[in-house]
Structures are given as C-alpha cells and as structure tokens.
Amino acid sequence: MSQSQETLSNLLQETRRFSPPAELAESANVTAEAYEEAAADRLGFWARQAERLTWAKRWDTVLDWSNPPFAKWFVGGELNVAYNCVDRHVEAGLGDRVAYHWEGEPGDTRTITYAELQREVSKAANALLELGVRKGDRVAIYLPMIPELPISMLACARIGATHSVVFGGFSADALRSRIDDAQAKVVITADGGYRRGKPSALKPTVDEAVKDTPSVEKVVVVRRTGEQIAENPRDVWWHDLVERQSDEHTPEPVDAEHPLYILYTSGTTGKPKGILHTSGGYLTQTAYTHYAVFDLKPETDVYWCTADIGWVTGHSYIVYGPLANGATSVLYEGTPDTPHKGRWWEVVQKYKVTIFYTAPTAIRTFMKWGDDIPAGFDLSSLRVLGSVGEPINPEAYVWYRENIGGGRCPVVDTWWQTETGAIMISPLPGVTAGKPGAAMRPLPGVEADVVDDQAQSVPNGGGGFLVIREPWPSMLRTIWGDDERYVKTYWSRFDGLYFAGDGAKRDDDGDIWLLGRVDDVMLVSGHNISTTEVESALVSHPKVAEAAVVGSTDPVTGQAIVAFVIPRGSAGEEVEGEGFVAELRGHVAKTLGPIAKPRQIMIVPELPKTRSGKIMRRLLRDVAENRSLGDVTTLTDSSVMDLIAQKLPSAK
C-alpha cells in the first residue's frame, strides 16, 4: 500500500468560527498562558495541578518513565481519593453545599450535600469492611443511576478497594466475564432501576451471572423499585447492612499508584479489556480538566453530565472530577424521552443548570425531534456546553449552540477515551475560537499529534493517525492482568507512541479534527475517506437528522460509500422518493467533492447503536455487503436492524 493510500483525504471545509463570549474570556479559569506554561515544563505543570489535591504524603518524583510504557506518576505520594472528593470539602466548611441533585426517572428526588455524602460514604465503607473487603480487593458494582452508585464507588476508594462498575444494560454473560476477570469479592446491585416509565430489573441478571463466579462472597442489594426478587444465601440487603453502620470512618491514604478502578471496554475483537486506572495521576487530571474545560466555578455553577456512570465519562465527569472540585452536579436516572421528549430541558430549567455535557448521539436525536421541544423551556442558565463520545458533526454543533446554548454558550468538543481517563483534546471555553466539528488542540500538558504511517507528524492540511507522544497523569496503567496485551494494543503500532486507534486531520491552522476509528476509514479509488466527513456532509443537509456511512466492497473503486440516513422530523413526505436520494448525493458531491459521493443511500428510521450511543458501522457494513449480520448482542435495540432490513429491497 502506498503512503498516499495510508493518509486520510482532507475533504471537509468549515469556515465558521465562534469566539469565546467576552465575559467568559475575562473571568476564565484558564487562559492561553497555560499552554506556554505547560510547554515550558510539562512535568512541573502537572505537579502544580496535583497540588489541587490534598496529599497525605507529597510525592518525590513527578513521573517515572524508566520502564515504558508502564508509567508511574507522583511516585512516593500518598492520598485518599474519597477524602479528596468528599471530606476535605466538609473540613473546609462546605458541608452544606449540594454535591448531587438527584432526579429519579419517576420524578422522585434527593438532595445530597457534601456533609451527607461523607456520612453515607463512611457507612458504606464500614459495611464493606464488615463484609471482609480489604485494600486491594475488587468490588463489582452493577447499579442504576441512583445515589448508591457514586456512594459505593467512593466507599471502595475510601478503603482502598478497587471497583469495577459494569453498566446496568449489560447482560448476565457480560457481567459474569467482568466479575470473573477482576475476581470480584463482592457485587453491589439493586432490585432494579426505572427506564422508560417502568421498573427494569437488575437482580435476576446478577443471580444468573454469579452462578459461576466462585470469587463472589456477597451480593449487596439496594432496594430501588420494590419489585419481588429471589433471595439467595449470598445476598444481603443494603438497608440491613449499611444503615446500621457508624457514619464515621477514617479514610486510609494509599500510594499514588494504587489501583482505583477497572473499567471494561469492549474492543472490536476479543474479550473485553479491563482498563486499569490508579489514584493520584487520575484524580489530578480529571480534576484539572473538569476545572479547565468547563470553566467550573464551584460556588455558583450547577453542572450536569448526562452520561451513565457505567461509562468512563460518568466515572471521570460525574464522580471523580466534579467531586474533587467541590462541584454541585445533577444526577439523573432516566432516559431523555420519559415521560416526555422535553425531560432533559425540564431538568435544566428546574435546577438552573449552567454547564451541560452530553454526546453527539443525543444531540442528533434532539435535532430529529425538532427545535420546538427545547424552545419550550427556559435554558437561559446555561453558559458552557460540552460534547463527547463521537466526532460531533458541524451541523449538530451549530444546532446545539443555537437551540440549547441560545447562541451564547461555547461548545467544547472533548476528545478522550476510557484509556486516557480524562479529556485530552478540547477547546478551552474562555480561550479558543471554536470551529464546529473540531476538537481543536491538545490541552496544556498533553502531547497529542497526527502522524502518517511512518510515524512522521503530518503538516497542516494533512491527515493520518492520532497518537500521544508523552505519558499523561490519567493514562491507563495496563490492561488488568494482561501487560502484554496493553503493550500490543496501544504501544506497538508506532514505536514509543500511544496509538489511540482514531483517524485525525490537522487543518490549515494546525487544529485537530477527529475522523472516527481507523477501522471505519474507507478506501475509495485509492483515497482514504473518513466516514465522519461524509456523515457530516449529509447531516449538513437541512432535511437530514442523522447519517451513518460505511465502505462496501466495489469491483471498480475497491470500496464504495454506502450511507444510511435518518430524515429530520420536520422534513415531510418527499424524503421517501428517489429525488431526495439524488439530492443528497449531489449535496455530498458539492460539499466534499465527487470522490465522496455515496454509491447508495438508504433512508432508514433508526440506526444501530451500542449501549454507549456509538453507531455500529460493522452491522451496517454487513447490510451493505448483503451478509448475514454479525454479533448483535451489544446493540441497544436489536429491532433496529429489522427496521433497516425492511428498507432494503427499495434501496437496492
């Protein structure tokens, strides 16, 4: 394969710019100087960020990189993560500040102050100790979005146990393999949670999973829905165990490199990888980035990240980062459309949310539902908007900015991964003139680059692979129990560089655009074309809400572009006809050039997504190439593929 074939074509042109609002720029937590400061002395910069935390013992060495790619940050330092997230705020006189405004899906609520959080976490820590959980033991957590979820995580951190949160939507098999891999001693779960207006059981899945997990000694069950559950010998009710515990517990300082948690991420192949995060560096970077990227003012802001805590976004930006910063957050249990499609905006209005962090998949769903829904609520409290999880299409960015942000809020498109632990590439809301669709620049202290297949930095205007050149504090330390796989997956593609697995381009100003997973890049007539760019071109058509693009084998061009398009709610009837498809093909040709024109466009009602909201292009490739579908077990809703299949004859 020639080098030009290995380099991504740089097709999308975007000229819109949004400067930071003057007021925000004037009072921003972080100014442009931070970039220079970090460039002059990266380790000194991170050491200063670590000083945001309270250490029981100061570190001797900021970074030990003598055995790459195994990093040790803040060597010799000791701290307790839960103390940093809870107790120290209470000691500073902030016990009455709200840590979480919790909102259950049925509309029940709970307000938890830092003082109350300290008591709850202490009780839960004492309960775990009573069950025999000790420093270094693993605890699996399989809970809905209820306060007991962060409380359980912090209780583990408090006693030095390593938690492994498993997203509540995962099956018994997925849960079993994660419990087994981590050799968890205790599982914390609930009878169920609320989803789409009804109780959704969790306990039967746990019962099924722990049949074959000999490591599990106890299953602690929170009563949430009150539905009948089977009671097994290992079960103990949370309210029987935790409520009677003392609400005082002295947190134990641990080594900076003590394992804080394992979080499993399903690679494209093979068994899930247990991503290991440790204590001091992780908390340093989550706290710093939450402060810098969202311009958090803990005295006045109300922050809401809509992710599920079962994903890394929730770990870093609902639990650890915000709490380390003493923030007030909203914690919401349910789905965006229950009991109605304006539910999220109602929550923003109710709590006067100022900082809002969500995913492109949600934004595109709201675009599809129509502008009038958010318009029915008072969103004037908002001042910063964030996006994470996938590339945000420029049109979705602009829609978000206008319809949610009232045209006044900066949008920060934050690139990172489960593996990076914290945000790596993002605009700074008081500094950066944002471009719709671009993650812009690596944060201060982060050395990200775009390289070609020879590991050479690409010039401005070029495309290639995203890499990280230097270790960062919140980086994964290994894959749990599999150092070799860690080295092979992340550090072998390019010698000495962390390979993120994403395609990226650097525009003429040197700003970075993410172009999707490299597995999703298409090779059309010798040009590497990004699925993201073609999708963004489709979404820039006023009648399109969402699009997914795949490469399908083609006798002439090698691969040909096949697109799946969901029209906007307001688009009307004509979107069914051939004329609409022709119009869209023409639109892509005009926006990106004829090379990017899809061979085929299918109009569909839904797209297949993973439970974390990413489009499953692999299944769409199966459809495009007329194959039987591969593994659909990680799909949120498998009926989606039936809906798409029904559309096929007319599209072929």
Q: Which residue has the tokens 């593996």?
A: 419
Closest to ligand WT7 by CB, 181 vs 413, is: 413
Closest to ligand WT7 by CB, 194 vs 499, is: 499
Beta-strand runs (E) in 208-306:
218-222, 235-237, 254-255, 259-265, 273-278, 303-305
Closest CA to 123 of 165, 84, 154: 154
Beta carbon of residue 412, minimum distance to ligand WT7 (angstroms, whole number): 9
Within positions 458 to 517, which residues make up the interface with ligand WT7, using CB under 6 A? 500-502, 514, 517
User: Do the annotations mark residue 391 as ligand-binding?
Assistant: yes
The 10 Å CB-count burial string (b at 16+, else e) for 548-564 is: bbbbbeeeebebbbbbb
Helix (H, G, I), strand (E, B) or coil at 616: coil
For 527-584, what is the HEC assignment? EEECHHHHHHHHHCCCCEEEEEEEEEEECCCEEEEEEEEEECHHHCHHHHCHHHHHHH
| Adjacency order of strands within the sheet including 478-479 | 235-237, 218-222, 186-190, 138-142, 162-165, 259-265, 273-278, 478-479
CA distance 76 to 72: 10
Which span (162-170, 176-184, 203-211, 309-317) binds ligand WT7, by CB under 6 A?
309-317
What length does the chain have?
652
User: Do the annotations mark residue 198 as ligand-binding?
Assistant: yes
User: Do the annotations mark residue 395 as ligand-binding?
Assistant: no
Q: For ligand WT7, which residue of 137, 257, 390, 535 counts as binding (CB under 6 A)?
A: 390
Closest to ligand WT7 by CB, 272 vs 298, is: 272
Q: For ligand WT7, which residue of 71, 124, 262, 312 counts as binding (CB under 6 A)?
A: 312
User: Do the annotations mark residue 544 as ligand-binding?
Assistant: yes
Beta carbon of residue 533, minimum distance to ligand WT7 (angstroms, whole number): 12
CA distance 113 to 634: 36
Beta carbon of residue 251, minimum distance to ligand WT7 (angstroms, whole number): 28
Closest to ligand WT7 by CB, 59 vs 167, is: 167
**Residue 2 vs residues 245, 453, 456, 515: alpha-carbon distances, Å:** 66, 10, 15, 20
Beta carbon of residue 432, minimum distance to ligand WT7 (angstroms, whole number): 14
Cis peptide leading into residue 199 (ω within 30°): no
Beta carbon of residue 583, minimum distance to ligand WT7 (angstroms, whole number): 28
Beta carbon of residue 315, minimum distance to ligand WT7 (angstroms, whole number): 9
Contact assessment for residue 193 and residue 106, using Cβ atoms and an 8 Å cutoff: no
Q: Which residue has the tokens 């129509």?
A: 370
Which span (2-10, 163-171, 241-249, 305-313) binds ligand WT7, by CB under 6 A?
305-313
Q: For ligand WT7, which residue of 69, 274, 321, 391 counts as binding (CB under 6 A)?
A: 391
Closest to ligand WT7 by CB, 255 vs 535, is: 535
Sign for the CA dihedral angle at 519, 521, 524, 525 comes to: negative
Q: What are phi and psi of 106, to 5 degrees?
A: -70, -5
User: Do the annotations mark residue 464 as ligand-binding?
Assistant: no
Q: Which residue has the tokens 């990189």?
A: 65
Which span (389-397, 444-452, 476-484, 637-645) binds ligand WT7, by CB under 6 A?
389-397
User: Do the annotations mark residue 540 as ligand-binding?
Assistant: no
Beta carbon of residue 309, minimum distance to ligand WT7 (angstroms, whole number): 12
Residue 388 interacts with ligand WT7 (CB under 6 A)?
A: yes
Q: Regarding beta strands 162-165 and 109-113, do their DSSP bridges make them parallel or antiparallel, or are they unpaired?
A: unpaired
Residue 536 interacts with ligand WT7 (CB under 6 A)?
A: no
Size of the site for ligand WT7 (CB under 6 A): 21
Beta carbon of residue 200, minimum distance to ligand WT7 (angstroms, whole number): 22
User: Do the annotations mark residue 525 as ligand-binding?
Assistant: yes
For the chain, counts of helices (H) and of strands (E): 23, 30
Determine how many CB atoms are found less than 10 A away from the CB of residue 325: 22
User: Do the annotations mark residue 289 as ligand-binding?
Assistant: no
Beta carbon of residue 158, minimum distance to ligand WT7 (angstroms, whole number): 25
Helix (H, G, I), strand (E, B) or coil at 480: coil
Beta carbon of residue 313, minimum distance to ligand WT7 (angstroms, whole number): 4
Q: What are phi and psi of 25, to 5 degrees?
A: -60, -40
Closest CA to 538 of 394, 370, 362: 394
Rg (CA), the chain: 24
User: Do the annotations mark residue 482 as ligand-binding?
Assistant: no
User: Do the annotations mark residue 48 as ligand-binding?
Assistant: no
Beta carbon of residue 71, minimum distance to ligand WT7 (angstroms, whole number): 19
Within positions 411 to 440, which residues make up the interface with ligand WT7, using CB under 6 A? 413-418, 439
Within positions 249 to 278, which residues make up the interface with ligand WT7, using CB under 6 A? 265
User: Do the annotations mark residue 414 as ligand-binding?
Assistant: yes
Residue 518 interacts with ligand WT7 (CB under 6 A)?
A: no
User: Do the annotations mark residue 636 as ligand-binding?
Assistant: no
Closest to ligand WT7 by CB, 112 vs 615, is: 615
User: Do the annotations mark residue 54 as ligand-binding?
Assistant: no
Q: What are phi and psi of 513, to 5 degrees?
A: -120, 130
User: What residues form the annotated binding site for CoA?
Assistant: 195-198, 313, 525
User: What residues form the annotated binding site?
Assistant: 195-198, 313, 389-391, 413-418, 502, 517, 525, 539, 541, 544
User: What residues form the annotated binding site for Mg(2+)?
Assistant: 539, 541, 544
User: What residues form the annotated binding site for ATP?
Assistant: 389-391, 413-418, 502, 517
Summarize as ranges the residues that interact with ligand WT7 (CB under 6 A). Answer: 265, 311-313, 388-391, 413-418, 439, 500-502, 514, 517, 612
